C-alpha cells in the first residue's frame, strides 16, 4: 500500500477521480441555489463548473511525470485555455461584485456602462498578453507599447468629449443631488427625474430639459430641496397708506396659512418694506408648488382684502358691495330668519355682504363664530377633521343655508366650511341674532333641528371611514 501512495501519479489521480466529482457536485448545488434566488452570479458559477474546473483537472493529470513526453504544444494550449478562462471568470466576478450588487443610487450603480466595458476590455488585453508571455515566452513589450500609443492617440482625439464625460462623472460621484430634488441653474428650474453619465433630465412643468452633466459640473446651481429651511415662495404686495399695517399683516398671514400646499411645520412670514408695501414669504412642501401657491394666494388675497375693508394696490372702489345688493340679499334670507322681508331689510345697518374665493375657509374647527353667514350664491362643503389629520365631508351647503350655527350657543364648532365655488353671503352678527331669537323663538328651534341633522350626517360620514364622533361634541357648523 505504501508503494502505491508513494507513486508520483497517485495523489494527482485521487484529486481528479475523487475531488473533481465532489467539486462539480458542490458547484452544481451552488448554481441551483443561486438560480432559485435569481442571482446574477449563477452564470459565473456555471462557467467555473463547466469549463474552469474540468480544464484544471486535465492540468493536474498533465502534471504527472511522464504524462506528456517532451515540451509539446498541447500542454501549452491547455495552459493557455486555462489562463483565458481564469481571466474571463475573474473579470465577470469583479463586475458582479462591484456593479451588479451596487446599492441603488450609489456611485457604482451610476457608473456608466461604456466605461466599465472599456475597463474590462483593457483587462482582457493585458491578461491575454500576460498569458502568452508566461506560457509561450512571447515578447509582449510591443503589445503594451502599442496599447499605450493607441491610448494617447484616442485620448488626444477625444479629449473634449471625454473631458466633458469625466467632469460629469465627478459630479455624479459627488452626489450633490438625487432623484426628486429640485435644482435651479441658469434661469432653469425643475425636478430631477433621471440622472445618467451624460445628462440630467429636469421636469420643469412645461417639458423635459435635458442638461449635460458637464454643464452642471462646470457651472453653479442651487439645490432647492437641500436647504436647511423649506423653500419659500415670495410675493410683494402693496396697500393703501391709510390701511393699518398690523391689520394688513394679520390678514396676509391668515390667507397664506389656509393654502393647502404650505409646509405644515413652518409658518408664513410677512415683512413691511415701507411705503405700504409688504413682502410675504410662504414656505412650501415642494419648490414645484410655487406657481400654484402664488396663484391661489393672489386670488384669495383680493377677496380677503375686500372683506377686511383693506385696499389692495390702493384700490378704494367696490362696485359689488352696494346697499341695493345688501337689501336684496336680506330679502332673500328673510324666511331662514323667520322674518318678513320688510323686517329683514331693517338689518341693513348691521349686516354685511361678503364674498369668498373657491377654496377659502369660511369656518375653522375650534372657532367660536362671531356671526352666522347665510349663503346667497355658491356652494360650500361642510366637513370634520379626522384623528389622522384627514378630512371627511359631511354635506354640501347651498342657497339660503347657514354657516356658523354655533354663534348662538357661543360654543366652539368642530366642523370646517370650505367654498367649493365663488360664494356670496350675508353675515349677521351674533348680537343681532340674539334679538331675532328673542322675538321669534321658532328660529332657535330651527337652528337646533339643523344642528342635530348635521351631527347625524357627521356621525354617518365618520363611521363610513372607520372613525367615531365624540359623543360630547354636539355642535356643528
Question: pLDDT tens across 345-375, in order?
Answer: 888 888 999 999 999 999 888 888 899 999 9
pLDDT (mean) for 129-156 = 67
What are the DSSP calls for 225-282, one per residue? GG-SS--EEEEEEEB-TTS-HHHHHHHHHHHHHT-TTB-TTS--EEEEEETTEEEEEE
Burial 365-400, CB ≥16 within 10 A → b, else e: bebebebbbbbbebbbbbbbeeeeeeeeebbebeee
Instruction: Please enumerate in sequence order all residues whose Cβ is within 8 A of that of 277, keeping only pairs 6 or more positions apart, or say none.
Output: 236, 237, 238
Question: What's the whole-model pTM score?
Answer: 0.64
pLDDT of residue 100 exceeding 80, the answer is: no
pLDDT (mean) for 143-167 = 59
Question: pLDDT tens across 389-426, in order?
Answer: 667 888 899 998 999 888 888 888 888 899 999 999 99
Query: pLDDT value at position 436?
Result: 86
112-119 long-range contacts, CB within 8 A, separation 24+ = 112/165, 112/169, 112/196, 112/197, 112/198, 114/197, 115/169, 115/197
pLDDT of residue 297 exceeding 60, the answer is: yes
Using a pLDDT cut of 70, give the percent of the chain over it. Answer: 80
- Between 91 and 143, name the one with better pLDDT: 91
Query: pLDDT value at position 30?
Result: 86
CA-CA distance, 240 to 310, in Å (whole number)? 8
Query: pLDDT value at position 360?
Result: 93
Question: pLDDT tens across 236-294, in order?
Answer: 999 998 899 999 999 999 999 888 888 877 889 999 988 889 999 999 888 888 889 99
Query: pLDDT value at position 244?
Result: 92
- Confidence grade of residue 38 (pLDDT, cut at 50, 70, 90): confident
Amino acid at each position: 500500500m505504501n508503494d502505491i501512495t508513494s507513486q508520483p501519479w497517485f495523489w494527482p489521480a485521487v484529486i481528479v477521480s475523487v475531488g473533481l466529482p465532489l467539486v462539480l457536485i458542490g458547484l452544481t448545488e451552488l448554481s441551483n441555489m443561486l438560480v432559485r434566488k435569481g442571482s446574477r452570479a449563477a452564470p459565473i458559477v456555471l462557467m467555473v463548473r463547466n469549463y474552469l474546473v474540468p480544464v484544471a483537472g486535465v492540468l493536474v493529470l498533465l502534471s504527472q511525470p511522464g504524462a506528456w513526453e517532451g515540451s509539446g504544444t498541447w500542454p501549452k494550449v491547455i495552459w493557455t485555455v486555462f489562463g483565458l478562462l481564469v481571466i474571463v471568470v475573474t473579470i465577470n466576478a469583479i463586475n458582479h461584485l462591484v456593479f451588479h450588487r451596487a446599492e441603488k443610487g450609489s456611485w457604482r450603480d451610476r457608473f456608466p456602462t461604456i466605461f466599465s466595458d472599456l475597463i474590462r476590455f483593457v483587462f482582457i488585453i493585458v491578461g491575454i498578453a500576460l498569458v502568452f508571455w508566461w506560457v509561450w515566452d512571447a515578447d509582449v513589450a510591443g503589445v503594451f507599447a502599442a496599447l499605450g500609443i493607441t491610448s494617447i492617440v484616442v485620448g488626444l482625439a477625444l479629449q473634449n468629449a471625454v473631458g466633458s464625460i469625466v467632469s460629469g462623472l465627478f459630479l455624479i460621484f459627488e452626489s450633490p443631488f438625487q432623484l426628486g430634488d429640485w435644482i435651479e441653474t441658469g434661469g432653469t428650474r425643475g425636478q430631477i427625474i433621471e440622472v445618467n453619465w451624460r445628462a440630467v433630465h429636469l421636469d420643469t412643468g412645461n417639458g423635459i430639459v435635458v442638461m449635460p452633466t458637464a454643464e452642471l459640473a462646470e457651472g453653479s446651481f442651487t439645490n432647492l430641496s437641500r436647504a436647511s429651511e423649506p423653500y419659500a415662495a415670495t410675493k410683494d404686495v402693496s396697500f393703501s397708506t391709510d390701511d393699518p399695517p398690523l391689520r394688513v399683516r394679520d390678514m396676509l398671514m391668515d390667507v397664506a396659512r389656509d393654502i393647502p400646499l404650505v409646509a405644515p411645520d413652518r409658518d408664513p412670514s410677512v415683512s413691511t418694506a415701507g411705503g405700504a408695501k409688504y413682502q410675504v414669504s410662504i414656505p412650501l412642501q415642494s419648490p414645484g408648488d410655487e406657481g400654484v401657491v402664488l396663484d391661489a394666494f393672489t386670488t384669495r388675497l383680493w377677496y380677503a382684502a375686500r372683506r377686511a375693508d383693506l385696499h389692495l394696490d390702493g384700490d378704494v372702489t367696490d362696485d359689488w358691495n352696494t346697499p341695493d345688493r345688501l337689501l336684496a340679499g336680506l330679502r332673500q334670507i328673510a324666511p331662514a330668519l323667520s322674518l318678513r322681508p320688510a323686517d329683514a331689510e331693517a338689518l341693513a345697518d348691521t349686516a354685511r355682504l361678503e364674498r369668498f374665493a373657491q377654496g377659502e375657509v369660511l369656518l375653522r374647527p375650534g372657532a367660536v363664530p362671531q356671526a352666522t353667514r347665510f349663503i346667497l350664491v355658491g356652494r360650500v362643503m361642510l366637513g370634520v377633521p379626522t384623528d389622522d389629520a384627514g378630512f371627511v365631508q359631511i354635506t354640501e351647503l347651498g342657497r339660503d343655508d347657514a354657516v356658523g350655527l354655533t354663534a348662538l350657543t357661543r360654543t366652539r364648532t368642530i366642523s370646517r366650511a370650505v367654498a367649493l365655488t365663488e360664494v356670496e353671503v350675508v353675515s349677521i352678527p351674533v348680537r343681532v341674532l340674539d334679538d331675532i331669537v328673542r322675538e321669534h323663538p321658532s328660529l332657535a328651534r330651527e337652528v337646533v333641528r339643523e344642528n342635530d341633522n348635521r351631527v347625524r350626517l357627521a356621525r354617518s360620514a365618520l363611521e363610513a371611514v372607520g372613525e367615531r364622533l365624540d359623543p360630547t361634541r354636539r355642535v356643528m357648523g
